[in-house]
Each structure stands twice: as structure tokens, then as C-alpha cells.
Amino acid sequence: AEHQHVRYNPLRDDWVLVSAHRVKRPWQGQLEKPPPEDVPRWDPKNPLCPGATRANGEVNPKYEGTFVFPNDFPALQPDAPEPDDSDHPLFRAAPAQGVCKVMCFHPWSDLTLPLMSLPEIRAVIDAWAELATELGASYPWVQIFENKGAMMGCSNPHPHCQVWASSFLPNEARLEDQTQRQHLSQHGVPMLLEYAEQEARRKERLVVENADWLVVVPYWATWPYQTLLLPRRHVCRLQDLSDSERDSLASVMQRLLIKYDNLFEVSFPYSMGWHGAPTGTYLEEDCRHWQLHAHYYPPLLRSATIRKFMVGYEMLAQAQRDLTPEQAAERLRSLPEVHYK
């Protein structure tokens, strides 16, 4: 807690520098603007609202629950042509096809996940699983992710996420596939299943838990209040969760996100995403080395206006954090589970 050291991340096969004493240094850098508190519940000019017109001229239905539609500005398209062959190994390119969708969590723009009811959060989880099944039938990777808050690049306050399905395994997926496969081969147990059992026993990095799930600040966390959401049983994909596990997932997500908001009494920004076993042709392969999990990466460090920047040393050498994961977990764990609003 007092002296710098490095910690190994077995999921990414890399290291993070922990420098807990640096959080005490005075801050004269950039101060962020807190998120607006006066988001209108419905705005006809907001392209994600029910009944609004989107950029491509399509009118949204007056939806009352979740709403999924094709991204009007997709990063991946299913019919993209293949690149030309390279004339040199240092200038390689490869085909990339896919589908990008947007999913609105709720018809109200001022209602984030921690303020939604458990049945409403459960509906989001069911929609995630449905999309993972639908797109995973054709594509090897389906990335569900949510960017929350302008600080994390979100341009629209309406509660929503994105789902990108790709014809290739992205870098993070490829790396996690390799490390988890190697761990199972060497130790005979899925890495994150063993890790969850260890964290449940040690409890020093535990934030919230229930019968089916636990949330920890991982031992190797990079971001100040980064968390890892893990099931207690061995499960490879989101769509494999039982009804009761989906209910308990809604509960543990709500508890975590309320704590996040309560930390600095602000709608807490983060990027989050689900990682599970690849799909498409991988559905016919042995993927026992995979364990379903979700990453939460929030940028805030000291307050609602002071964030952690990943620059300089982090970009050119390796990740570095300013307080220990144990300190972060203790602070999150001690927060109330009733939303400050």
C-alpha cells in the first residue's frame, strides 16, 4: 500500500505498475465538466428517443422497453470488399466484415442503468443474450459494449450500448483466448473460474457479490476503480445463463452501478463490455478454457472532475495506477447501495 511494485495480469500476459503514494500529489491539471443533471426525459431532436427521426431519415418506433436498430454509421459492414494482396510482409491487410447495432436500454433519456428497476435491467440482459445468439450464429466475435458519459466518448446521454459483430477475433479477444487456453492446459481449470474462487475466499478486493456472481477490483487493475464481473459457475457465453442467473446478474449490476454513482455523487462514466467464448465456427470447437466476464473501465480518479490519464509512461512503457486495487475495492465496498438521488 505504501511502496511501488508491479503486478502481473495473467489475462493479458502483461504487467501494471502500482504507485499508491502518487494519489497524494497535488493536482493542477485538467478538470472535467460533471455530466449534466438536466437531461430531458424525451427530446424529439434526440435520434435515440422513441418517435424521433434518425440521421438516415428513419423514424424510431414509440418503443416502451429495449430497442435495437442498425447503426447508422457502422464501423463494420457485411459486404465490404477484400483488400488487395500485399507486396511486402510489413504491409499486410486482411478482410474485415461485420454488423454494428445500437441498443437503447429504455425509452427515457434521463434513466441510466443504476436508476432502472430490476425487471428493466433484466430486459437489457435478455436483449444482450438474444443479440449474442443471433449475431454469433454467423460471426466469430460479438462485442457488446457501453460507453457511458461524455468523458468516455459518448455523444448521446440516452441510455444505450453498441453491439459489433466481426468476421475476425479482435486483439483483446485473441489475447484472452490464448492466455485462458494456456492456463487450462497447464493447471486443468479455467483461469477466471479459479480466480473467482480465490477472490471470493480472500475478499480483500471484493466489491459486491451474491449467490451467482461477484464483482472485484482485479488484482491487476489498471484504471483506478476498474472492476471485473464474474460468474461463480463455469459458463462460457452470455446466452448460456439460466433465468435465475440473469435475475441475479441484474441485481449485482444494479448494486455495482449504484456504488459507482455514489462514489463521487455523479452519473459515473465508464466503458464496459462482455467477453465470452467466440462464436460462429467456434461454436463447434472446445471452448472450455473460456469463462464469461464483463470489464468495467471508469476513468475517474479523485473526484467527479479529476480523471486518470493514460499517457506518457502508460503509452510508451506500461500501465500505471495511483492507488492499490485493495484501496479502491475497500472504498467501493463501503459505499451505500441506495442511490444518492
**Numbered residues of the known binding site for Fe cation:** 176, 275, 293, 295
List the binding residues for UDP-alpha-D-glucose.
22-25, 55, 71-72, 147, 153-155, 162, 308-309, 313-314, 320
The residue among 163, 191, 4 whose CA lies nearest residue 68 is: 163
Residues in the chain: 341
Phi and psi of 68, rounded to 5°? Answer: -115, 135
CB-based contacts of 82: which residues, under 8 Å, 6+ apart? 95
Half-sphere exposure of 162 (CA within 13 A, CB side): 18
Give the E-state strand segments of the chain in sequence order: 5-9, 14-18, 67-70, 98-104, 141-148, 160-166, 206-209, 213-216, 227-231, 270-275, 293-297, 319-321
Q: Which of 106, 158, 160, 289 is catalytic?
A: 160
Strand partners, 103: 68, 161
Per-residue cell: 272: 464496459
Query: Contact 227/264 with Cβ under 8 angstroms?
Result: no
Query: Between the CA of residue 178 and those of 4, 169, 185, 287, what are the distances in Å?
Result: 29, 12, 11, 11
CB neighbour list of residue 226: distance below 8 Å, 6 or more residues apart: 217, 218, 295, 296, 297, 298, 328
- Residue pair 57/68 in contact by the 8 Å Cβ criterion: no
Annotated binding site: 22-25, 55, 71-72, 147, 153-155, 162, 176, 275, 293, 295, 308-309, 313-314, 320
Question: How many Cβ atoms from other residues are within 10 Å of residue 160's Cβ?
Answer: 20
160 among known catalytic residues:
yes
d(CA 47, CA 49): 6
Residues assigned a catalytic role:
160
